[in-house]
Amino acid sequence: MFIGCSTSTHKVSSLHQHPRLYIHQEDLDNLKNLVIKDTSVKSWYEQLEKESKKILQEPSVEYKLVGPRLLTQSRNALKRISTLAGLYLIDGDRKKAERAKVELLAAARLKDWNPSHFLDVAEMTHAMAIGYDWLFSYLSNDDKKIIREAIITHGLNEGIKAYAKPEWWVKSTTNWNQVCNAGLSLGAMAVAEDNWDQSFKILTYAKNSLPIAMSKYATDGGDPEGVNYWRYGTSYNIYFLDALKTAFDNKEKVDDSTLKDTGYFRIYSLGPINKPFNFSDANDDRGTSPQMLWLASRFNNNNFSNFEKKIKNNPTIFNLIWSLKQSDKKNETPLPLNRLFKSIDVSFFRSSWTDSEAQFVGFKGGDNKANHSHLDLGSFVYDLAGQRWAFDLGPDDYNLPGYFDRKKGRWNYLKLINSGHNTLTINDENQKTTAAAPILKFSEVEPNPFAVVDLKEAYGAHVESAKRGIKILSAAQILIQDEIIPKTGESLDIKWNMLTKAKIKIADKKAELMLDGKIIEAEIIAPLGAHFIDEKINSEVHSLRIHLENQKQLLKIIVKLGSIKNFELKEFEIKDW
Write the pLDDT tens digit of every residue in 41-72.
999 999 999 999 999 999 999 999 999 999 99
pLDDT at residue 566 tops 80: no
Radius of gyration of the chain (CA): 26
Who contacts 504 (Cβ-Cβ below 8 Å, separation ≥6)? 511, 512, 513, 514, 532, 534, 542, 544
SS3 for 6-28 is: CCHHHHHHCCCCCCCCCCCHHHH
pLDDT, position 331 = 73
Task: Say whether 223 sits in a helix, a strand or coil.
Answer: coil
pLDDT at residue 15 tops 50: yes
CA nearest to 90, candidates 41, 149, 147, 129: 41
CA 151 – CA 262 distance, rounded (Å): 32
CB of 313 closer than 8 Å to CB of 319: no
CB of 240 closer than 8 Å to CB of 248: no
Model confidence at 424, in pLDDT bands (50, 70, 90)?
Answer: very high
pLDDT, position 408 = 86
CB of 143 closer than 8 Å to CB of 168: no
pLDDT at residue 329 tops 80: no
CB of 199 closer than 8 Å to CB of 188: yes
Q: Is 490 exposed, middle or buried (0-12, 13-18, 19+ CB in 10 A)?
A: middle
Backbone region of residue 348 per phi and psi (left: phi > 0; alpha: psi in -120 to 50; beta: other values)? beta
How many helices (H) and strands (E) are present in the chain, helices listed first? 15, 19
pLDDT at residue 3 tops 50: no
pLDDT, position 1 = 42
Task: Say whether 215 sits in a helix, a strand or coil.
Answer: helix
CA 503 – CA 429 distance, rounded (Å): 28
pLDDT at residue 7 tops 60: no
Angle between helices 175-190 and 196-214 (to 10 degrees): 160
Task: Say whether 518 sits in a helix, a strand or coil.
Answer: strand
Query: Distance from first CA to last CA of the chain, Å, rounded?
Result: 51
Tens of pLDDT, residues 236-293 = 999 999 999 999 998 888 999 999 999 999 999 999 999 999 999 999 999 999 999 9
Task: Say whether 66 sits in a helix, a strand or coil.
Answer: strand
CA nearest to 74, candidates 45, 117, 135: 117
pTM of the model: 0.96
Tens of pLDDT, residues 544-560 = 999 999 999 999 999 99
Q: Is 62 exposed, middle or buried (0-12, 13-18, 19+ CB in 10 A)?
A: exposed
Who contacts 452 (Cβ-Cβ below 8 Å, separation ≥6)? 439, 440, 441, 442, 467, 468, 469, 574, 577
Tens of pLDDT, residues 132-184 = 999 999 999 999 999 999 999 999 999 999 999 999 999 999 999 999 999 99
CA nearest to 504, candidates 482, 524, 519, 490: 519
Domain architecture of the chain: domains with CATH: 32-321 (1.50.10.100), 339-562 (2.70.98.70)
Who contacts 517 (Cβ-Cβ below 8 Å, separation ≥6)? none
Asked which of 194-208, 308-322, 361-375, 559-573 is least confident by mean pLDDT, the reply is 559-573
